[in-house]
Structure 1
Amino acid sequence: MLAILEKAPDGYVARFDRSFRHSAEAVWSMLTENDKLSRWFSELETGELREGGFIRFNMPDGSFIKLDILEVKLCSVLEYTWGEDRVRFELYPESEGCRLVLTEKLQAITAHTPKDLAGWHVCLEAIRLLLDGEEMPSRKKEWEAWYEKYSRHVDTFLAEEGRQGN
């Protein structure tokens, strides 16, 4: 299922809603423990897991971007900066596992937005597969397929928003 895009008072929100057959604790460990985090998003590394702490986005040249942690609630909420935007993971226990809601608060929709959305989509699927003991055959091919879908999705959303604004 594609992310839901919505206009917000201060920009836009992209929302992914996924159910996992695993506990909130198991999913939380995928989001926060470096040995597991590196398996689905190799550029991310938890620095200090606390409000006011940080996550590193490691760049190919050896430098890194510091992503500031805005909120942490153990096995429940993790929110951090993502450039000018914000990324928030929320976990909700369910009888058969948990529900993960990922929201990205966007200042603006840009040409890069479909790339990020496709990336998050593939990351969430990679988490599910890893928790199920599987691997994604080709993240690149998976991303390319979802990038095409998100490009159309974003274009449709912007066209609809333009019609509503007139």
Structure 2
Amino acid sequence: MLATIKKLNDVPVAVFEREMKHSPKEVWDYLTENDKLKQWFSELEVKSLEKGGHILFDFQDGNYEKMEILDVKMEEVLEFVWPPKNTVRFELNDKDGHCQLIFKQFLYEITEHTAKDLAGWHVCLQVIETLLNGEEVKDRKASWERVYPKYVEVVKPYLTASI
């Protein structure tokens, strides 16, 4: 299921919604425990899980981007800066022991790269669910290549719009 872009206070927001047959705690662990986080987004590392804390993005070349955590509520909300100007937010809701995951990317800046980010998040959310299901992660690159052209179309109307 592709993300949709909605406006929230005049800011475009890409919204992904997933229903996972796992508890919010299990999903939370994949978002915040570095050993599990590395399995679906190897460049990220949580350094300080608190509001004002930070997550590191490892460029794999000796350089790092320090991303501030803007909001955190254990097993419910994780929001952080997504460089250069956007933010991402994971919201976890308990639905009879299962997790409703709502992921939002606030698009304060929309560029040609935005579709790549959205396709990447799409695949990352699939990988989290695959790992939680105890299944083998298949060809991530092929999955990304399938959805990327669709996100190019989703983003296209916003490329010329000013925020």
Query: TM-score, structure 1 length as denominator?
Result: 0.91
1:56 corresponds to: 56
Q: Does 1:93 align with 2:89?
A: no
Matches of 1:66 and 1:17, distance apart in 2: 27
Q: What is the correspondence of 1:79-118 to structure 2 with a 5 Å cutoff?
A: 79-83=79-83, 84-118=85-119
Cα contact 1:10–1:107 (8 A) shared by 2: no
Q: Does 1:39 align with 2:35?
A: no
* Runs of 4+, deviation exceeding 4 Å: none
Partner deviation per Cα, 1:9-28 (whole Å, 9 max, x = no partner): 35310000100000000000
1:21 corresponds to: 21
Cα contact 1:126–1:135 (8 A) shared by 2: no
Q: Which blocks of at least 5 consecutive residues in structure 2 are unaligned? A: none
Structure 1 residue 152: Cα displacement? 1.9
Matches of 1:108 and 1:10, distance apart in 2: 12
Q: Which blocks of at least 5 consecutive residues in structure 1 are unaligned? A: none
Aligned with 2:144: secondary structure? helix
Considering only aligned residues, what root-mean-square deviation do their CA atoms show, in Å?
Answer: 1.8
1:137 corresponds to: 138
Aligned with 2:47: secondary structure? strand
Matches of 2:136 and 2:14, distance apart in 1: 26
Query: TM-score, structure 2 length as denominator?
Result: 0.93
The percentage of aligned residue pairs carrying the same residue is 49
Cα contact 1:92–1:98 (8 A) shared by 2: yes
